Structure 1
Amino acid sequence: MRILSAGTALPGPAIDTGALARRFGMDGIWEQWVDAFIGTRTRHLAIDLESGQPRQSLADLGETAARAALDRAGLSAQDVDVMVLGTATPDQLMPATVNVIADRLRIDDIPTFQLQSGCSGAVQTFDVAAALLRTGRYRTALVIGGDVIAKHYDVTADLGALPPGELVNYVLFGDGAGAAVLSTLDRPEAPALRAVVTRLSGLDRTPGQVLNWYGQADRSTAQVAPAHEDYKAIEEWVPLLAEQAVEDLLDELGWEREEVDYLLPPQLSVTMTRRITERLDFADAVEVSRVADTGNTGNALLFFQLEQLLADMAAPSRAVAVAVESSKWIRAGLALERGTGPGGDERSERDKRDGGELI
């Protein structure tokens, strides 16, 4: 089972922290705080900051990313046998955004699934798609991940009056979508998907992130913040869960840390990614990170990392990607391997030694 391609989409122009500070009337100290404790340089938002009006939906971004992934795979929408979308912020509760994207791509009469999850939803799309492809009934899956968190922004808010758990959302996140083509087609040059793990890890743990949806009755009876972060809990638990996800993968595959050539770490923020990477201790691995320029795009970020990895990944080499969902705490990860030889179809000596097989 191989990842043939990846594609991504970002809305609007890049917005730096200075532009955010000017829009919300925050002083230079706030900008310095963002640089020091978050580290994100730019992000892309699916709303117009001046008016608060939406510019692009998750379906818009997902469609663009999916078309890019299919084009790079040399496939058409009619080649897709299964579609899976992972998101925490669907455009509507119904119809499912995955089906809106399918309709735009002219895809019909196939299984489609939408997974409601935070950042681990991107990995969960691969887990579901791989399980379906493994049955032999399907050959090619289109997996998509993305989020549009800016829909929760109040552009009239006085950020200076917001508690930290709400304020952080204005600087931590960006909007975007990504897609990948996973297939059992004979493409030996494409990286093999060796393992996928997703584990719920939230027993007795308070949610670290909450996103609220409102009905008419909710709006009239309660004033509840649409989004809230317990960033201290996230700082405490995400590095630990990322380490556990790595151990899950390495134990399942029998790989050693020094045999991993590329690390795709969780992308909460630049600062958090640095802490997590240091803890994971892949001293010889090349880090593939995009969060500094895109912001935390939730379920899209893994696809931005995969897009870069597929362009740069040498043969032979191994890669490990990790994602953590901090609402009710899910640890997740996947492992890829690109073989050696002119077409990438010969397994490396260490792979022959390990006796690894494609999943």
Structure 2
Amino acid sequence: MNGSAVPPGRAAVITGIGSYLPPDVVTNDDLALRLDTSDAWIRTRTGIGRRHVVSPGTATSDLAVEAGARALESAGWDRVDAVVLATTTPDQPTPATAPQVASRLGLGTVAAFDVSAVCTGFLYGLATASGLIASGAAEQVLLVTADAFTTIIDPEDRGTAVIFGDGAGAVALRAGDADEPGAVGPLVLGSDGSLSHLIEVPGGGSRQRSSGKPVDPGDQFFKMLGRETYRHAVEHMTDASRTAVGRAGLEISDIDRLVAHQANARILEAVADRLEIPAGARLSNIEQVGNTGGASIPLLLAQATADGRLAAGHRVLLTAFGGGLSWGAATLVWPELRSV
């Protein structure tokens, strides 16, 4: 990692992007065969029609390697100074998954570590990568967000099984100037640990293990209190977005594209309505991929770049909310990127 003097105005600039979805697809009709639900029920409450899921034996690192390789190809890079992996579903409790991803990508013995912020993982990872670059510790960073959420979902829980899918997204970040396209604007991050029970996996950690009691049935699975989560998600994503836009010296009316964590169509609509973002500026892919956790923002950025919904020069607002509770927002001007 580079330890040279830091030039003034140094910023992290997105210069490559990639994404990956596992090939297996589960539709709403597939879920209706084993759950008390229907395509209409799921679409009405979540906006989701299908989701991609990992096949047996596929791990988070497999998704991360695919997305990371595409981001590196998009940037035209064969080396980086650091790899940051944001994930809620590491391959193992220890060691971190990022070093394996770096090794499999042929990046050698570079610094590599995991970041855990659930569905806000991309923004927390973006802040981490930006800090490495701004401090002069790195010139080039690969940020990957990958989640195999279906591996921690109770397949019989209608409240969560219909929502989550698997996938990965990645961006290549380089040192650059704060006023150039792709430069990450001021980041707004927050958390509230007093409400951690709203989104959690109760079993499997040191608290449960130190109790000496076996895991209660179902406690190894992801749990979410949907009604309360909805309220906090809308409130914090809206507030963080307004703050991030203001710190960037912009008005909400200046935003060309809103890219929010694809949690639930109702949440997305409520946030966009409160911010008064016009319909044509709201990007979404939740109908096709569901909630892919921390991967949802970079996945959407990659897909929208590929299909033309997101173009160079667009002023973009990113915002997310997840377990912790955690939330965040940032702005940037979208750069010209090579889609792979």
TM bucket normalised to smaller: 0.7 to 0.9
2: CA distance between counterparts of 1:82 and 1:320? 25
TM-score, reference length from structure 1: 0.81
CA distance in structure 2 between the partners assigned to 1:172 and 1:132 by the alignment: 34
1:321 is aligned with what amino acid?
Answer: L
Cα RMSD between the aligned structures? 2.6
Q: How many Å apart are 1:212 and its aligned residue?
A: 3.9
| Residue matched to 1:247 | 242
Select which of 165, 168, 172 maps to 1:181: 172
Q: Which residue of 2 aligns with 1:37?
A: 45
Secondary structure of 1:205's match?
helix
Alignment of 1:158-237 (within 5 A): 159=156, 166-184=157-175, 191-200=182-191, 202=192, 204-214=194-204, 220=214, 222-225=216-219, 226-237=221-232
TM-superposition CA deviations, 1:304-356 (whole Å, max 9, x none): 1221344434443311110111x2221211211147xxx89xxxxxxxxxxxx
How far apart are the structure 1 equivalents of 2:109 and 2:28? 45
Deviation, 1:8, is 0.9
1:260 maps to which of 255, 260, 268: 255
Q: Is the 8 A contact 1:44 1:294 kept in 2?
A: yes
Tell me what 1:354 maps to.
none
Equivalent in the alignment of 1:64: 66
1:301 to 281, 296, 300: 296
For residue 232 of structure 2, give the secondary structure of its aligned residue in structure 1: helix
Letter in 1 for 2:197: P
Which of the numbers 63, 73, 76 marks the counterpart of 2:75? 73
Q: CA deviation at 1:185?
A: 5.7
> Which AA in structure 2 matches 1:333?
A
CA change 1:153–1:253 in 2 (3 A) is closer
Give the % identical residues.
Answer: 25
Which protein has the larger Cα radius of gyration, Structure 1 or Structure 2?
1
Partner of 2:28: 17
Paired positions, count: 319
* Cα deviations by residue, 1:139-168 (Å, 9 ceiling, x for unpaired): 11000111112113455xxx4xxxxxx421
Structure 1 segments unaligned to the other structure (5+ residues): 48-53, 160-165, 345-359
Does structure 1 retain, via aligned residues, the 8 Å contact 2:199–2:225? yes
Aligned counterparts of 1:128 and 1:65: Cα–Cα separation in 2 = 19
Pairwise CA distance, 1:199: 1.5
Q: Which moved more, 1:176-185 or 1:229-238?
A: 176-185
Aligned CA distance change for structure 1 residues 43 and 320 (closer, same or farther; 3 Å): same
Kept in 1, the 8 Å contact 2:165–2:290? The answer is yes
Letter of the aligned partner of 1:180 in structure 2? V
Quick one: distance in 2 between partners of 1:6 and 1:174? 20
Q: CA deviation at 1:236?
A: 1.1
Residue 169 of structure 1, CA deviation = 1.3
Does the aligned pair in 2 maintain the 1:191–1:337 contact within 8 Å? yes
Partner-residue secondary structure (3-state), 1:120: helix
Query: Gaps (5+ residues) in structure 2?
Result: 1-11
Q: 1:191 to 1:309 in 2, by over 3 A?
A: farther
